[in-house]
């Protein structure tokens, strides 16, 4: 048992896991406000990365392209909510899930139709030079991504203490009650869509710089979903912590299991964590336990 190998796997896994939390936070924000489990988040992440590249392709510098993309993705998100999801409110959850899956398929195919599927690089300017912390070799792009996640998380935590943030918390608590005290639930849902699109764009940019920008970005959905469920579907802090946990477990387990089982254990570990979470503690680490009424 090589301690350094283990530590390296754990640290890099944890950092990558923090980046999974970026995807998960997008899911959590939408679930909190409208109790829609957004299976299209992976496609939104991918689309965010593509739109950034579209803007940079038009000659806009990256630092300006990212906020522009956030605005564009916000419009996409609000459009989805207005056109598709609002009409399904109150319908059985299978239809809502299917709707988000349909949106996922549509957005993925539409992105590939307009922008093509060949892999492209995200020009973020993170150097490829190795980064050593003590003796540990740390992936620089993951480290930047994890730092961005933490910053976003702190910003969100501060935001939820402002007046508007309290409104959002009220809506996620009980939207009928919020309605009756005069809170505009529609506006709140739109606001949470905005926050979610900020996260989705960030996730697209960060993951695009780690790997290339292609359709595999949409596959982050499974990991994001697992992190969101493990943390509790309505808890942002849970998402960050669960991301850290899942990243470590996934990287360490696949680091040791891959040579034994012939590869591909990464998704297996993620799926196993998802099943175990749902079986043992469906409300996740910090989620609210719902009491079902007949």
Structure tokens at 10: 């754990």
Q: Is 102 in the site for another protein (CB under 8 A)?
A: yes
Euclidean distance between CA atoms 256 and 294, whole angstroms: 47
Residue 91, SS3 per DSSP: coil
CA dist., res. 292 & res. 258, Å (int): 41
Name 131's bridge partners.
Answer: 138
Please, how many CA atoms are within 13 Å of residue 208, restricted to the half-sphere of its CB?
30
Provide the mask over 219-248, with x wherever binding to another protein is found by CB under 8 A and - wherever it is not: ---x--xx--x-------------------
Per CB under 8 A, contacts with another protein among 253-282 are 261-262, 264-265, 267-268, 270-272, 274-275, 278-279, 282
Closest distance to another protein from the beta carbon of 143 (Å): 29
Q: Closest CB to another protein among 3 and 294?
A: 294
Distance of closest approach, residue 138 Cβ to another protein, in angstroms: 29
Pick from 54, 60, 68, 84: which binds another protein (CB under 8 A)? 84
How many residues contact another protein, by CB under 8 A? 47
Burial of 83 by CB count in 10 Å (0-12 exposed, 13-18 middle, 19+ buried)? exposed
By the rule CB under 8 A, 3 interacts with another protein:
no
User: By the 8 A CB rule, do 168 and 191 touch?
Assistant: yes
Which residues ranging from 24 to 83 are in contact with another protein (CB under 8 A)?
A: 37, 83
Using CB under 8 A, pick the residue from 64, 67, 91, 187 that binds another protein. 91
Give CA angle at 94 (77, 169), nearest 5°.
50
Cβ-contact 100, 84 below 8 angstroms: no
**Residue tagged 């005290």 (tokens):** 181
Residues binding another protein (CB under 8 A): 37, 83-84, 87-88, 91, 93-95, 97-99, 101-110, 112-114, 116-117, 222, 225-226, 229, 261-262, 264-265, 267-268, 270-272, 274-275, 278-279, 282, 292, 294
């Amino acid at each position: 048992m090589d301690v350094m190998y283990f530590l390296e796997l754990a640290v890099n896994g944890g950092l990558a896991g923090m980046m999974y939390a970026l995807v998960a936070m997008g899911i959590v924000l939408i679930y909190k406000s409208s109790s829609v489990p957004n299976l299209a988040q992976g496609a939104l992440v991918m689309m965010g990365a593509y739109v950034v590249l579209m803007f940079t392709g038009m000659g806009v510098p990256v630092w300006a392209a990212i906020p522009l993309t956030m605005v564009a993705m916000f419009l996409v998100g609000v459009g989805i909510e207005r056109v598709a999801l609002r009409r399904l409110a109150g319908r059985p959850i299978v239809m809502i899930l299917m709707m988000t899956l349909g949106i996922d398929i549509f957005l993925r195919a539409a992105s590939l139709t307009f922008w093509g599927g060949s892999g492209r690089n995200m020009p973020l300017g993170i150097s490829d030079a190795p980064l050593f912390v003590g003796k540990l070799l740390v992936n620089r792009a993951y480290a930047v991504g994890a730092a961005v996640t933490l910053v976003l998380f702190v910003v969100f935590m501060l935001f939820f203490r402002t007046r508007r943030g309290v409104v959002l918390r009220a809506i996620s608590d009980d939207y009928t009650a919020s309605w009756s005290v005069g809170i505009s639930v529609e506006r709140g849902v739109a606001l949470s869509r905005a926050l979610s699109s900020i996260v989705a764009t960030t996730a697209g940019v960060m993951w695009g710089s780690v790997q290339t920008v292609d359709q595999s970005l949409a596959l982050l959905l499974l990991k994001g979903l697992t992190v969101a469920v493990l943390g509790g579907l309505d808890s942002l802090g849970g998402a960050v912590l669960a991301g850290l946990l899942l990243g470590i477990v996934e990287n360490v387990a696949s680091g040791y299991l891959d040579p034994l089982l012939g590869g591909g254990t990464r998704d297996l570990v993620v799926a196993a964590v998802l099943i175990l979470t749902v079986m043992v503690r469906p409300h996740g680490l910090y989620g609210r336990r719902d009491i079902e009424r007949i």
